[in-house]
Chains A and B, each alone.
Chain A
Amino acid sequence: MAGKPQAAAWYQVIVQRHTPPKKLARNCLTAFIGGGALCALAQAALFSLMHFADMAEKDASTVVLTGVIFLTALCTGLGIYDHAGQKLGAGLAVPISGFANSVAASMMEHRSEGYVLGSGCNSFKLAGAVVVFGIISAFGVALILMFLGKI
């Protein structure tokens, strides 16, 4: 009977030995550089559209945003995005491309269940959380601003 707690402790040691180290610093660095580079790239595109195509800032940013989402859906379709996403972590998940990727990936993945029941019903599987809590928090913020007389 005395062997039992000892075995449990030994088990913990084995678990710890086999858990891969998290490489926190490296993950953070790749997320910072990857995400930052993506944002800088979008900024460069915005700058070019504004200065070389004479577009207004608002129109140009819509074009860039739509372009980023188009490229993300294309890369998701070609299977490039998942591969890169595993390497860059939050660097690719946090920008709007992560949102677009989750919509495109769920629609592709569930297509075998049909366009309506599969792709349609599952499209916002992950992105739905963003939409729902975005709307609820924005509604709350707007109500508070209204209550404070700021609107």
Chain B
Amino acid sequence: MIGELLLQLLKAFLVGGGICLIGQLLFDVANLTPAHTMSILVIGGSILSGLGVYPLLADFAGFGAMLPISSFGNTLVQGARAGAESHGFFGIFSGLLKQVSAGISAAVIFGFLAALFFKPKS
């Protein structure tokens, strides 16, 4: 079991680190702003999801592929796909945001709590 855990950790480290490295190159070499960099990674994630690559990457690397923001694009496409499969064209609209709900809700809820209880430092 320890061997299995270590292998999973290694895969997550390499893939997750690799995606962050791409982000750093977009910052430093392409001189993009954080907003542009994140948008590009998300769009890349949805395209790779459409090509069927991202789900394979997520199977391989677990949170190495699921934690970086590119997985947001992948999850949106999976939701749109699931919606379209069961409800047709309008299922794209109803399904798109279904699976990213946890991430967005948690970010808003805990962000609001942070604003309630903490004051900005500078």
Contact = CB atoms under 8 A, between A and B. Distances in A.
A95 B63 CA distance: 10
Contacts of B62: 43, 46
Nearest to B43: A137
Contact of A68 (B11, B67, B84, B112): B67
Contact of A95 (B61, B69, B107, B115): B69
A117 interface: no
B41 A94 contact: yes
A43 B8 contact: yes
Nearest to A68: B67
- Which secondary structure characterizes the binding site on chain A? helix
B44 to A, nearest CB: 9
B110 A73 contact: yes
B112 A119 contact: yes
Contact of B68 (A96, A106, A145): A96
Nearest to A25: B28
A42 B71 CA distance: 14
Contacts, number: 261
Interface residues of B, number: 78
A74 B114 contact: yes
Contacts of A134: 42-43, 45-46, 72-73, 76, 100
Q: Which of B20, B25, B68, B120 has the most CB of A within 10 A?
A: B20
- Which residue, A95, A103, A141, has most C-beta atoms of chain B within 10 A? A141
B12 A39 contact: yes
Contact of B72 (A22, A72, A99, A104): A99
Given A31-B23, A46-B63, A138 B115 contact: no
A78 B118 CA distance: 7
B68 to A, nearest CB: 5
Identify which of A82, A108, A144 gathers the most chain B CB atoms within 10 Å of its CB. Answer: A108
B46 A129 contact: no
Given A31-B24, A40-B12, A103-B107, 16 more contacts: A31-B23, A39-B17, A39-B61, A39-B68, A43-B11, A46-B62, A90-B24, A94-B37, A95-B20, A96-B67, A96-B72, A98-B38, A100-B106, A129-B39, A135-B97, A141-B49
